[in-house]
Structure 1
Amino acid sequence: MSRLPFYLIVGFLLIVGSAMTAHRHLQFEIPWLPGEQRQVWEVEAMIAYDADDGPVSVDFALPSHQQGFRVLTENTASSGYGLAYQADEYGRRANWTVREASGEQQLYYSVQMLVAPESQPGVQTPPKLSATTPWERPYDTAANQVIERAWSRSANNATFARELIRDINGEQQGENARLLLTQFDSTELIVRLLHQADVKARAVSGLILKDGRRRQTLSSWLQVFSQDDQQWWLFNPATGERGKPENLLLWEAGGQAVLEVEGASDSGVTFSMLTHAQPAAAAVRNHLSEDSLLNFSIHSLPLEEQALFQTILLIPIGALVVVLLRVLVGVKTSGTFMPVLIALAFIQTSLMTGLLGFLLIVAVGLVIRNYLSYLNLLLVARVSAVIITVIAIISIFSVIAYRMGLNAGLTITFFPMIILAWTIERMSILWEEEGPKEVLIQGGGSLMTAVIVYLAMNNPVVRHITFNFLGVQLILMALILLLGNYTGYRLLELRRFKPITDDEPGV
């Protein structure tokens, strides 16, 4: 029979599992290791104004996901105000409203921004060119000459914007630029000149992040749309440098007003900021819970269910260890996957407490099971009696441990009672049929396997990877299928050939 379908299935599982794992790491920035830290900026905006004893409406721009940053959480403090969030092609905004307000008012908005180098802004469609306002004389002549001078020294929109900025604000500033600056703000003037040259541009507002700063204000930046690669280029309108500084947070990136207040006067906004590090898993949790794709995964479940699945997803790791030890090494165990369940109990009890509890329960259970064998009971009745015996043993040990002040002894209730009962029954039958030596071999193999499985499943890196990268489950499935196809000698079976090597001279 051809093995091609088998290897195709294994290859498919490996490719899909690896792709899912890589996608989770690259797309959602889930770290490979549990101890990684991420930098988070906490920024608070304080909006202050004087209300005119009437209704007030405050419209404020909000930051969005962008290059280098991702929004984690946001909160507001605005007692007595109604609040609504809005989003359009220009960005996100918050709108506070109140029927009546008087005197000095303050509104607060705080946001946590995750430093995410892989983060990219969403797709933004270029705006239509606004109708150019006719220049008055002599500004029309000056504007045309400034545009012609910068255009002749440029090769594309980016270099044209750079030369125009230098002519307006740099060392190349001429008389025409100085004339125009007497009537217009420099950034507004550059945008107007770019529009006149049929170059799509807009002024945006950004916040320079510096740890521990208070009462900071936004600065103006220039975005120019490139027709070649269909993306926005960011320029410093003071120097003409292209590119986004690492510590620049674009607060308003749609070319709209940052703050609009109706029914008040003397409005303004200032910013305070702090930075700190926090575990990467916690930093990206909010992003994961909001993603539509992950709403079909365990991360969208309540925390109680997530904690349950964190343990369940470790079972394939235990199964892989059991397959390795049984297929390749040749370790004998009492029951195929009983060591996995015992290892899960060890995770709840701790290793030393679990080992001691397991040995005590099995030892006492074997003594009582030996007595039950003299009663000639049917199998179902005998196993049921062993189950009740195991429950009684666990209960007695728990009470004794509590009375002695050994709180760790109370955790032996996590042992799977049905599995323990069947283990005792199987060992007792094995004792009668094969003798105590085989019982020690299989019992010792089971206990050794359980300890190795416990060490594998209780590893923090393994727990982190199995819980956060579900594609690993497909990779484990492929490995187990490959091991299931192994038909060679087991490691412990090689000792059978030792007499042959002893008889050969010189070996």
Structure 2
Amino acid sequence: MRQSRAPFYALIALLFVAGLSMTWLRHKTHDVPWLPGEKRQVWSVEARVEFEAQGEPVKVSLAVPQTQTRFERLAEYTASPGYGLAFVENGRERRAEWSIRNADGPQTLYYRLDLLVDPSLAVADTAPPLEAPSNLFDDSPHATSALHLLDNAVERSADNFTLARELILEFNLQKQSAGFLEQRQARSRWLKQLLNYAQVPAREVKVLTLEDGRRRQRLQTYLQVFQGDHYQLFDPRSGRVGLSPNQVMWEYRSGSVLELIGGSQSDVSFSIINQEIPVSQGLEKEGDHFSLLEFSIHSLPVEEQALFKGILLVPVGVLVVVLMRVLVGLRTSGTFMPVLIALSFIQTSLLTGLAGFLLIVGVGLVIRSYLSHLSLLLVARISAVIISVIAMVAVFTVIAYELGLNEGMKITLFPMIILSWTIERMSILWEEEGPHEVFVQGGGSLLVALIAYLLMTNDIVRHLTFNFIGLQLVFMALVLLLGGYTGYRLLELRRFSVLGKGD
């Protein structure tokens, strides 16, 4: 007696209804847009402060930004159980200060800032007082070398901005002198002192690059150079002028980013996530608790939200694999290997990831073919392949660095174990089925990975999966529905093309 499929289809219908209802409720109740760009853009930045307390009173001071050009401070809040908290302002300098009478062991403090993007917002700034660079007046070799670079730059400059540009260029041209100076202190510090010596107001600022979904980001040091009431920002390494639209000045008073009393081994890192909110919510008064949902992943710390933003894309890749295997009939190396490859492409960029994957797997197959002649046990053979893959990644990364191919260094983001198993599976397939099947399954895996990558990096898809958690139930329903398909696949229809030739 054939088992009824009614409960199965009822489950699929229930998942569809539940998922679509949650999605509609999210849109209707919380005014979350269907498409990105319909609302105001908000960058949520979370600073994570970690240190080791020493069993005595602790005071922690973190530089926090004010409203500035292109970015309005929308809301801020902290997570610091047991600590007192105050925000101290001195002119335009603003700091968050935590304090506690006694603390011991590892400590973690959180500060979150929501920045509303407003391209029309412009905030003026004043030049800092000139600093007397006392170490440039001595007769040390460092002072002589630094002043020589300044003299060369002055001859090719016309104003404060061109002097800063030419001085950075001089550091890049005179690499031996620059390296000698940087043994004593950072390049940005030398640039600031030399400009001050030339009566040019300048200071170091700390800049944060806003990249959606990034975790454990660090601040970069830029040079702010003034000429009258105007200023320009310079990258002290490349000499590039100005900030990109997704860069924000975090500390801009030549002060320290983090100060700690009563502890050691302090560190601060930043997690960033991009969100779309209604205009009405963007105009809420500063200091209110900012939340898109009362109870959801959006209430988690930004670092965890950034992690989930990538995880929630996995069902999209899984759905692509099911469609291509069940309906199209495409063969892949491993069931969900294409999803892992697509995730690696997201981390490395498509061209770099594709080239790195082909390079490592190609060389790995050669190494694996040699190991097959040694009659090793499976565990030992896989272990040898893993070690070989790690060595290859290290070698290719060093080569890319020496050739100046910075994108090539991202090859380290590939999952080593997955690459090793891919090499092992393809090697066995080569021995059992021949090279043709290896190319068929390998090509199928890359094709599915490419389609999954294009969908998973699409702004609309990323927006929907992150903001509408109910879509995960819809993906589940679609996968179950496709799982019950027993008809012909598209690639199998070519077998019947001969029948049509007789008509």
Structure 1 length normalisation: TM-score? 0.51
User: What amino acid maps onto 2:21 in structure 1?
Assistant: A
Counterpart of 1:296 in 2: which secondary structure?
A: coil
Give the Å deviation of 1:455. Answer: 0.4
1:380 maps to what in 2? 379
2:38 corresponds to 1:36: yes
The structural deviation recorded for 1:354 is 0.6
Which AA in structure 2 matches 1:26? K
Unaligned runs of 5+ in 1: 41-71, 80-111, 114-277
**Cα distance change on mapping 1:282 and 1:303 into 2, 3 Å:** farther
Shift in Å at residue 281 of structure 1? Answer: 3.2
Q: Map 1:86-485; keep pairs closer than 5 Å.
A: 280-281=276-277, 284=281, 290=289, 294-485=293-484
Residue type of the alignment partner of 2:37: G
Q: CA deviation at 1:286?
A: 10
Partner of 1:20: 22
Q: Structure 2: 5+ residue runs without aligned partners?
A: 43-73, 78-86, 90-114, 117-273
Deviation track 1:131-177 (CA, whole Å, cap 9, x = no partner) reads: xxxxxxxxxxxxxxxxxxxxxxxxxxxxxxxxxxxxxxxxxxxxxxx
1:136 aligns with none
Q: How does 1:45-124 map to 2 (within 5 A)?
A: none
The AA in structure 2 aligned to 1:336 is T
- 1:35 Cα deviation from its structure 2 partner: 1.3
Aligned-pair identity in percent equals: 65
Which one-letter code corresponds to 1:13 in the other structure?
Answer: L
CA apart distance, 1:420: 0.7
Change (3 A) 1:39 1:477: closer
1:497 aligns to 2:496 (yes or no): yes
Q: Distance in 1 between matches of 2:41 and 2:403?
A: 48
* Offset from partner CA, 1:357-412 (integer Å, 9 cap, x none): 00000000000000000100011110111111111111111111111111101111
The one-letter code of the counterpart of 1:435 is G
What is the rounded CA distance, in whole Å, between the counterparts of 2:486 and 2:289 in structure 1?
47
Contact 2:316–2:475 (CA under 8 A) maintained in structure 1:
yes
AA of the residue aligned to 1:332: R
Give a deviation string over 1:77-110, Cα, whole Å, max 9, x none.
999xxxxxxxxxxxxxxxxxxxxxxxxxxxxxxx
Instruction: Give the Cα separation in 2 of the matches to 1:311 and 1:74.
Output: 25
Indicate the residue corresponding to 2:13 in structure 1.
11
Rounded to whole Å, the distance in 1 between the matches of 2:12 and 2:319 is 15
Distance 2:282 2:432 in 1: 55
Kept in 1, the 8 Å contact 2:30–2:292? The answer is no
| Counterpart AA for 2:346 | I
User: When the two structures are aligned, how many residues end up with a matched partner?
Assistant: 279
**Which amino acid letter does the alignment assign opposite residue 395 of structure 2?**
I
Superposed displacement of residue 499, structure 1? 1.9
Q: After TM superposition, which residue ranges in structure 1, 4 or more long, deviate above 6 angstroms?
A: none
SS of equivalent to 2:363: helix
TM-score (norm 2): 0.52
- What SS does the aligned partner of 2:277 have? helix
The 1:19/1:380 distance shift into structure 2, 3 A limit, reads: same
The offset of 1:468, in angstroms, is 0.5
- Which residue of structure 2 lines up, in the alignment, with residue 254 of structure 1? none
Deviation at 1:294, TM superposition (A): 3.1
Q: What RMSD over aligned residues (CA atoms) do the two structures have, in Å?
A: 3.2
- Structure having the higher Rg: 1
1:476–1:39 Cα change, 3 Å: closer
Equivalent in the alignment of 2:105: none
CA contact (8 A) 2:18 2:470 kept: yes
AA at the equivalent of 2:325: R
User: How far off its partner does 1:296 sit?
Assistant: 3.2
Name the aligned partner's letter for residue 464 of structure 1. Answer: H
